[in-house]
Amino acid sequence: MKTKRLLVIVMCLLMVFALAACGKSTDTPAPAAPAGSSEAPAPAPEPEADAPLVGISVPNNPTGWVGAVQWISKVTADSLGLNYVLVTSENPNDQANKIDELIQQGCEYIVLFPDNDELAVAAQKIMDAGIVLINFDRTLGSTTPDYYLAGNNEGMGVIGAQYISEKLGDEGGNVVIMNIPNYGEIFTERVNGAKSVFDTLDNITVIGEYASDNGAPETVLPIMADILTANPKIDAIYSTDDEMSQGILQAIKEAGRTDIKVVTGGGGAQSYFALMDEYPDIWVSSQTYAPYMMADAIKLVPKLIAGEAVPARTIIPPVNVDRDNYKQYMADNNITSDAPY
């Protein structure tokens, strides 16, 4: 009898613990503070019951610049207490389909980071449905959104070309341009900005313009290897993207080239900053275009909900970063080693 009573007691205790465990919250931990903030994140406010629904549409990429946009989107929307739906997409067609779903769900505001300018038709559907469209970064062809926020792409090209001219000095030299046309009009703007400077300099000769399908270093590496073979004398490479520049530097290293004195970039990636000291004979630089600007786009939403007037177009200027100032740049912007870009 004692044994049976003991067994009953043990079973009751196990049931109590199981019920307690089932009652624990399964919420994910609060997101880390975004880059640019040194403070621990405050608990995210709960959205109001009648708050308008906000759609946030971004391409899907767990790493790199796009991954950081996706990360900061959630961090910012949570910190603002928005009633929101965040959707990620694998390609332009998938993004267009998911935009249709956001429209059907009754979103009153949509913050869109388009995969490329092929999203113009989907963006126009948003506006035709009476939804306020805030477009971030990449342009939408002939479609003009209600609000647009981005970095200064042409300005990136201008200061990148000026940097090359400064580092080459009076002697000047041969320059190769590396671009990613698939990333849309903004990358063309970067190249045009650089050309606007090169065209005024008699001592700079652009000996070739080349393209990569994307910025992944492993994609860029063989392309750059071929470019180095085809061009025995290159003094500088104007690159539109930090990740692309990582592939460029690897190709230069593998080819044993010592003629190249300057390589630019675009974005402001920590993984690229980490290479700057590894190439003491090359001025490795980045013209910043931080993914964390997406936070500024999302922060427009509560202002618009509150009836505040905000600029229809906001352009954030770039900063030139190289081995002389990258550590200071990171400190000034509270970009910690655990930030995703």
The predicted-structure confidence for 234-254, as pLDDT tens digits, reads as follows: 999 999 999 999 999 999 999
Structure-model confidence comparison of residues 15 and 236, the more confident one? 236
Q: What is the tens place of the pLDDT at every residue in 164-177?
A: 999 999 999 999 99
On the question of pLDDT at 98 being above 80, the answer is yes
Cα atoms found within 13 Å of the Cα of residue 62, Cβ hemisphere only: 0
pLDDT digits (tens, 9 = 90+) for 254-309: 999 999 999 999 999 999 999 999 999 999 999 999 998 999 999 999 999 999 99
Give the type of residue at 207.
Answer: I
Which of 22-26, 31-35, 270-274, 329-333 comes out lowest in average pLDDT? Answer: 22-26
pLDDT computed for residue 201 by the predictor: 98
Q: How high is the pLDDT of residue 14? A: 40
Query: In which region does residue 136 sit, left (phi positive, over 0), alpha (psi from -120 to 50) or beta (all else)?
Result: beta
Instruction: Please give the CATH superfamily to which domain 53-152+291-317 belongs.
Output: Response regulator (3.40.50.2300)
Q: Indicate the domain borders of the chain.
A: 53-152+291-317, 153-287
Number of residues assigned to the chain? 341
Pick the CATH number of 153-287 from 3.40.50.300, 3.40.47.10, 3.40.50.2300, 3.40.1500.10: 3.40.50.2300
The pLDDT of residue 89 is above 70:
yes
Cβ atoms within 10 Å of 104's Cβ, excluding its own:
9
Using 50, 70 and 90 to split pLDDT, how confident is the model at 47? low
Q: 53-152+291-317 with 153-287: one CATH topology?
A: yes
